Structure 1
Amino acid sequence: MHFRVFYLINRSGERVSSTSAVEMTAKAICEQMLDRLQSEDDYLGILGSDDHALQILPEPDQNRYYVEVPLDAAKASYGRYVDREELEALIHGLSAQFDERSIPGLTYRPW
């Protein structure tokens, strides 16, 4: 299954906007993108077929990631913290269409 990804890798300046997202499989995302998330300023976004986004924000000092499904209209998101193993399992388990209800354990957080 293919997803579209967008990202910012701060140290190298690499950037792909959500409007220019590139196609990748879940396996490629885990193998090629996750190790590149090394700064709190980095992020990775995964777009499903219905354009819902899963955003991944690293917290390297805590050895964890914050994953969230943003709801722009509500100015909020649903998210939770995961470790690398949980993150890879979450990415491999994503269906083509996902939202805040299809990812277990997310908590509502206003911006």
Structure 2
Amino acid sequence: MLFRVFYLINRSGERVSSVSAVEMSAKAICEQMLDRLQSEDDYLGILDAEDNTLQVLPEPDQQRYYVEVPLDAAKASFGRYVNRAELEALVHALPARINERSIPGLTYRPW
């Protein structure tokens, strides 16, 4: 299954906007993108076919990532912290339609 990804890698200045998102498989996302998330200013967005988003925000000092499904209309998101192994498992298990019910353990957080 293919997803589309957008990202910002701060130290190198690499940026792909959500409008120009690049197609990648879950395997390619894990192999090519996760190691590049090294700064709190970096991020990775994964879009499904309906433009639903899973955002990945690294917290390198805590050796963890915050993953969230944003709900722009509600000005909130559903998210949780994961370690690297959990993140890889989550990406490999992503369903065709990303939403707050498709990822276990997410908690509601208003912005």
Task: Tell me whether 1:52 sits opposite 2:75 in the alignment.
Answer: no
TM alignment of 1:2-81, pairs within 5 A: 2-81=2-81
Q: Say which SS state the counterpart of residue 87 (structure 1) adopts.
A: helix
Which 4+ residue blocks in structure 1 deviate beyond 6 angstroms? none
Letter of the 1:5 counterpart: V
Q: Percent identity?
A: 83
Q: How far apart are residue 96 of structure 1 and its match?
A: 1.3
Shift of 1:92: 0.2
Q: Deviations over 1:70-106 (max 9, x none)?
A: 0000000000000000000000000111200110000
**Displacement, 1:50?**
1.4
Structure 2 CA distance for aligned equivalents of residues 78 and 31 of structure 1: 25
The count of corresponding residues between Structure 1 and Structure 2 is 111
Deviations 1:47-74 (A, max 9, x none): 0111110000000000000000000000
Q: Secondary structure at the match of 2:33?
A: helix
Q: Secondary structure at the match of 1:61?
A: helix
Who is 1:101 aligned against? 101
CA RMSD of aligned residues (A): 0.4
The one-letter amino acid of 1:36's match is R
Distance in 2 between the 1:70 and 1:61 partners? 24
Unaligned runs of 5+ in 2: none
SS in structure 2 at match of 1:89 = helix
Amino acid at match of 1:96: A
